[in-house]
Amino acid sequence: TSITSAKIQVNGVHLHYQQTGEGSHAVLLLPGMLGSGQTDFGPQLKSMNKQLFTVVAWDPRGYGKSIPPSRDFPPDFFERDAKDAVDLMQALKFKKFSLLGWSDGGITALIAAAKYPNLIHKLVVWGANASVTQEDVRIYNGIRDVSKWSEKVKKPLEELYGHKYFAETCEAWVDGISRFAENSDGNICQQLLPDIKCPTFIIHGEKDPLVPQAHAEYIHKHIKGS
């Protein structure tokens, strides 16, 4: 089964997505910071069971092929992405669907599952955090300068965006996510976690260089039955 690519207008922007499979269980893949369906989920689009699942991978506004607009980071950018993601799936006529989100996409998925409980079937998040600590800000600033990134991580993003957009958007992301550290408890979406009622699976990489494991443990503790 082939992978189709298309754009659809949602909330005033044209969002790019890829879709494959014809299963009854619809799944949305949510990429991480600077990511797109293709850069973050190539293996999943290729290998997930096409009979069981209908798989959709999206490019959030300002990322991947969902440009224009250029990516920006207002205080509510995660809520905006969550609404865009859910509205995209509804525009594609999926009544209920599961969310698989990693990194920033995991945060977006947590917010979407909490705010739109009737639409979300199941939730899988990895590399996500519900708050930002001062230690996190220090880690984020360590990746601000993309010229210091490893070639392996840098290359696909430079090919996707060109060096200038990639470098500037990374800096803007560091500033945008670091602002959460100014909130009480560095809150991003801590208060929403108890509202998540769907079956939830939290995965965390032992060697995750960007998100300390305590974040995954906090999310697990505050989503009942996860």
CATH number of the domain enclosing 128:
3.40.50.1820
Assess if residue 147 is contained within a domain.
no
Distance between CA atoms of residues 16 and 201, nearest Å? 27
Provide DSSP, the chain.
Answer: ---EEEEEEETTEEEEEEEE---SEEEEEE--TT--HHHHHHHHHHHS-TTTEEEEEEE-TTSTT--SSPP---TTHHHHHHHHHHHHHHHTT-SSEEEEEETHHHHHHHHHHHH-TTTEEEEEEES--SB--HHHHHHHHTTS-GGGS-HHHHHHHHHHH-HHHHHHHHHHHHHHHHGGGGSGGGBSSGGGGGG--S-EEEE--TT-SSS-HHHHHHHHHHSTT-
Q: Is the whole-model pTM more than 0.95?
A: yes
- Domain membership of residue 144 (yes or no) is no
The CA angle 60-224-99, to the nearest 5 degrees, is 25
pLDDT 10s per residue in the chain (226 long)? Answer: 699 999 999 999 999 999 999 999 999 999 999 999 999 999 999 999 999 999 999 999 999 999 999 999 999 999 999 999 999 999 999 999 999 999 999 999 999 999 999 999 999 999 999 999 999 999 999 999 999 999 999 999 999 999 999 999 999 999 999 999 999 999 999 999 999 999 999 999 999 999 999 999 999 999 999 9
Say how many domains are in the chain: 1
pLDDT at 51: 97
Q: Domain for residue 37, yes or no?
A: yes
Q: Say if 213 falls within a structural domain.
A: yes
- 29: containing domain: 3-132+186-222
**Residue 63 is assigned to a structural domain of this protein:** yes
1 vs 17, 18, 20, 45, 155, CA distance in Å?
16, 13, 7, 10, 28
Contacts of 222 (CB under 8 A, 6+ apart): 130, 190, 193, 194
Does some domain include residue 12?
Answer: yes
- Indicate whether 171 belongs to any domain: no
So what's the pLDDT on residue 208? 95
Q: Do the domain assignments include residue 99?
A: yes
